[in-house]
Chains A and B, each alone.
Chain A
Amino acid sequence: MKLSETEIEAIRHEMTLYEDPGAATIEALKIVQEHRGWVSDEALEAAAVVVGVTPTQMEAVATFYNLIFRQPVGRHVIMVCDSISCYLTGYEEISAHLRETLGVEFGQTTADNRFTLLPIVCLGNCDNGPAMRINTDYHGRLTPEKVDAILAEYP
């Protein structure tokens, strides 16, 4: 398969920002993910060709970084902070509520493909714990009721 012209152009631009163009592996994966939601084997290989690294090198990078998805995800990705400040302010209640409401465990996607639920390390939102991130939006000082209202904003 081939990447779209838009993807290739964006990756080539990133490659100009480094002394070694091959350094743009992470940007390339992120660009592919932005356009396709996740990084399939085929898309990974195509991105490797553009950057000029081997598929193995690209895979080594893709599997190291947790914000690169190597499996399909739902329309919205929920990342729930499970680090210390949120743990102290009610992570367990929020996490249980999300799992129950969505009917999925961490790492799973709802049957209607609406949400993928993932754990995340400290989001840097510690004064607003318990906190989570949906797509690129931060949400904090969560209560079960507030979580319900927030989820409704993501159809």
Chain B
Amino acid sequence: MEKVLTKNIRDNREPMWIAEYEEAGGYEAVKTALQEFKPTQVAGKVKEAGLRGRGGAGFPTGVKWSFMPRFEDRPEERPAHVYLVVNADEMEPGTFKDRLLMEGDPHQLIESMIIAAYAIGADIGYVFIRGEYTECQRKLQRAIDEAMEAGYLGQDILGTGFNLKIYLHMSAGRYICGEESALLSALEGRRAVPRHKPPFPAASGLFGQPTTVNNVETLCNVPHIINNGAEWYKGLGLHKDGGTKIFGASGHVARPGLMEMPLGTKLADVLEHFGGVRHGRRLKALLPGGGSTLFLTEEHLNTPMDYEGVGAVGSRLGTATMIVMDDTTPIVGVLKNLEHFYAQESCGWCTPCRDGLPWVEHILTNLEAGLGNPGDIELLELHVKLLGPGMTFCAHAPGAMGPLDSALKYFRDELAALIPSDRDTLGLTQPANAATHS
């Protein structure tokens, strides 16, 4: 199949530096976009292509860009700065795809940022990179320096009057930084606490200025849409959504890794590309796109893997890096591991998330240790509701409830069987020290 996002990427991830990148057609899309199109036309093409956010939420990118205020007709009202921020804070459990794009083809991201910044009228771009990705930092900084030298960044780019500077921000940890408004708080040098919406970042983002936040992989699609057109892009998908996607697999698969495939590829085929379940075992369940997506099982193997297809079977495509579990895996251990992560990574701002997630982890810890109580399953179900969408300040806790919600649907009996049968009254047979929170 046609490789788009990864066509320049070598197995050892040694990038094409600028001469080689240009030779392979690199920066042609920048020339086309800046010299032949108005910013709104570039944004229009991305909207027409139907590109959806690859960071997990799947929001249409062109629509997000259309929320940005335009100052072409009223330049005197233009604020001091308009920002494009790239979310490279890849911390969703089981997700390792943006690292490949930044390590393997850093110029592709820089080229994408130039076009996106032009489309939304930004003059400063930041790449917000998780602190551990120092290799991405090294390669992106070299790409920025080369692009600056070649005149693709800086003042009056290609003689069009368009100006853009790009800076890298290395984060200092915490999953919540991936939430776009928390990311802006972190970039302003504060605690990464999410902000109330509205106002959305397009109205008041970084330092109160108009801002768009896009994921790395999302942006990397943009030059290809400019070069080949919206119709070509839509035609790459096999189901309802257009384009290709970097799929990944980890956990109990024979050949864990990453591979670019058309959106809409069937789940069974995606799994097959990674060698299927390892040691010839059967699939118990998988999380299709990171730790906060809902479980899929054998009954979903025919699902077309795009936003619409996975949504139709009650889960989310998320980041499309799937975590696979074979039939020997106790589901309670998986849930405890996931909820430990979410409890630890809660920013602590709102009470349901800060106090609810540790309580969920506590119940799961007891269940795994054989110290569960009658009513625990119902208590977990209650938490799924109380920490669900609309009940918390941001999407962190609702995301955490995704796998739990679906586990209570598919593996309810397995979880209920963990409650010892002699525990017929809530708490009465529980040892005094069992309530100690680990």
Contact = CB atoms under 8 A, between A and B. Distances in A.
Contact of B189 (A22, A82, A84, A87): A22
A133 B131 CA distance: 12
A109 interface: no
A148 B131 CA distance: 26
Contacts of A126: 94-96, 248, 250-251, 256, 321, 323
A124 B172 contact: no
A4 to B, nearest CB: 21
B207 A67 contact: no
B383 interface: no
Nearest to B321: A126
Interface in A80-99: 82-85, 87-89
A84 B338 contact: yes
A26 B186 CA distance: 8
Nearest to A30: B172
Given A30-B172, A65-B173, A129-B250, A83 B190 contact: no
A122 B92 contact: yes
Interface residues of A, number: 41
A66 B172 contact: yes
Interface in B74-117: 80-81, 90-96, 98-99
B96 A127 contact: yes
Contacts of B186: 26
Interface in A4-31: 17-20, 22-27, 29-30
B94 A64 contact: no
A93 B96 CA distance: 23
B227 interface: no
B3 interface: no
A83 B96 contact: no
A23 B189 contact: yes
Interface in B248-263: 248-252, 256-258
Interface stretch (B22-30, B62-70, B238-246, B329-337): B329-337
B167 interface: yes
Interface in A59-112: 60-61, 64-68, 82-85, 87-89
Contacts of B130: 124
A83 B291 contact: yes
Contacts of A143: none
A131 B221 CA distance: 30
Interface of A: 17-20, 22-27, 29-30, 51, 53, 57, 60-61, 64-68, 82-85, 87-89, 120-129, 133, 136
Interface of B: 80-81, 90-96, 98-99, 130-134, 167, 169-175, 186-192, 206-207, 209, 248-252, 256-258, 287, 291, 321, 323-325, 329, 333-334, 337-338, 340-341, 344-345, 347
19 contacts: A26-B189, A27-B169, A30-B170, A64-B347, A65-B173, A65-B174, A67-B172, A68-B172, A83-B337, A88-B324, A88-B325, A121-B175, A122-B92, A122-B291, A122-B341, A126-B94, A126-B95, A127-B96, A127-B258
Which 10 residue pairs across A and B have the least CB separation, nearest first? A65-B172, A126-B250, A23-B189, A127-B256, A25-B189, A66-B173, A85-B250, A67-B173, A88-B251, A124-B96
